[in-house]
Amino acid sequence: MISVKNKDQIKLMKEAGRITGEALALAGEAVKPGVTTKQLDNIIRHHIERCGAKPGFLGYGGFPGSACISVNDQVIHGIPGSRVLEEGDIVKIDTGAVYKGFNGDSANTFAVGRVSEEAKKLIEVTKESCFRGIAEAMPGNRIGDIGSAIQSYVEANGFSVVRRYVGHGVGEELHESPDVPNFGTKGRGVRLCTGMTIAIEPMVNIGKPDVFELPDKWTVVTADGTLSAHYEHSIAITDEGPIILTKID
Ligand code: MG
Ligand code: MG
C-alpha cells in the first residue's frame, strides 16, 4: 500500500531530509586520499545524533554502519571499514536520518582527489539523470515517466542503469511502496499523486547494467568491474511540483 503524507508529516520529512543532507555534505567534505570509509561513517553518525535524530541505516536488516559507502566498482551497500580511499577513486555515500519517526534517504558520489575524465562524466550524468527523474515527479504523471527520463538520459550518454535495485517510497519506513525503477516506459506504472514521498536514486554503470552481491551479503558490485555512480534524493510530490526533501542550501 502506498502511504500518502499530509502537510505536517511532510514538514517532519523535511527535517529528516535536512539532517540527512547535512550529514552527507559533511562526509563529502571529508573525502580525500588517506581517509577510511569508517571515518566517513563516523562523521555521518555524529552529525545525525547531534541533531537529535537516529541513523536510519544502522541496524537496518542488520547493517553495521550509519552509511553505505561503496568505492569504484562497488555500486551500493558497501560496509564502512578500514578501506583507505586513494587518489582517483570515486566513493558513493548513501545515508539516512530518522527524525520524529520519519526517514530521509540520500546518496551522492564524490571524487577522491583527481579522477579520470570518464569518472567525472559518470558522476555528472548520474546526478543530472536524478534531476531529470525528479522533474517528472508531478501529480498525474506515472512512475514510468520518472524511470524513462532517467534511462533515456543515461543511455544517450553511453552508460547503463542498474535494473536489479530501484528507488522506493520513503516515510515512516525507509523502504515503502511503490518501487521507483530507474528505467521504464513513459505513461506506464503507478499514477503519482500529491502527498506521495519517494526516493529517486539512479545507479549508473560505465559498462553493462549487471551487478552481483559479494559474499559479505551486502556489497553490490558491477559484474564487469566497471565504475558505478549513485545519486539519490528523497522528494515529496505536491500540487506545486516536486519538493526535494534532502537538499540543503
Ligand atoms: Mg539511499
Ligand atoms: Mg534509497
> What is the average per-residue pLDDT within 179-184?
98
Q: Calculate the dihedral angle through the C-alpha atoms of 211, 29, 46, 69, rounding to the nearest 10 degrees.
A: 10
Dist. CA 30 → ligand 2 center (Å)? 22
201 pLDDT higher than 90: yes
- Residue 29 binned pLDDT confidence (cut-offs 50, 70, 90): very high
| Distance in Å, CA 159 to ligand 1 centroid | 21
User: pLDDT value at position 144?
Assistant: 98
Residues 108 and 26 sit within 8 Å (Cβ to Cβ): no
- Work out the mean pLDDT of the chain and round it to a whole number: 98
Q: How confident is the model at residue 23 (pLDDT cuts 50, 70, 90)?
A: very high
Please state the rounded mean pLDDT for residues 91-118. Answer: 98
Instruction: Give the ligand at the shortest distance from the Cα of 57.
Output: 1
- Give the per-residue pLDDT at 61: 97
In whole angstroms, how far apart are CA 139 and each of 81, 135, 180, 196? 41, 11, 15, 9
The pLDDT value recorded for residue 199 is 99
Q: For the packed helices 7-30 and 37-50, what is the interaxial angle rounded to 10 degrees?
A: 140
Q: Using the mean position of ligand 2's atoms as its centre, give its distance from the Cα of residue 174 in Å.
A: 7
Nearest-5° Cα angle at 26, 101 to 59: 40
Helix (H, G, I), strand (E, B) or coil at 63: coil
The cell for 167 is 528507488
Residue 117 has pLDDT above 80, yes or no: yes
Mean pLDDT of 217-243: 98
CA–centroid distance, residue 239 to ligand 2 (Å): 23
| Residue type present at position 222 | T
Residue 229: strand, helix, or coil: strand
Q: What is the CA radius of gyration of the chain?
A: 17
Q: d(Cα 137, Cα 139) in Å, to the nearest integer?
A: 7
Q: How far is the CA of 13 from the centre of ligand 2 (A)?
A: 14
Distance 200 CA to ligand 2 centre (A): 7
Amino acid identity, residue 217? K
pLDDT, one tens digit per residue, over 204-219 is 999 999 999 999 999 9
Q: Which ligand is nearest to the CA of 96?
A: 1
pLDDT for residue 21: 98
Please write the tens of the pLDDT for every residue from 61-79.
Answer: 999 999 999 999 999 999 9
Using DSSP's 3-state secondary structure scheme, residue 110 falls into strand
Q: How far is the CA of 107 from the centre of ligand 1 (A)?
A: 5
Please report which confidence band the pLDDT of residue 249 belongs to, taking 50, 70 and 90 as the band edges. Answer: confident
Q: Note the ligand closest to the C-alpha atom of 168.
A: 2
Q: How far is the CA of 89 from the centre of ligand 2 (A)?
A: 23
Q: Give yes or no for a contact between 65 and 216, defined as CB atoms under 8 angstroms apart.
A: no
Distances (CA, A) of 31 to 21, 39, 51, 79, 101: 16, 10, 22, 16, 30
C-alpha cell at 114: 583527481
Amino acid identity at 13:
M
Structural domains of the chain, with CATH: 7-240 (3.90.230.10)
- Closest residue by Cα to residue 244 from 177, 197, 203: 197
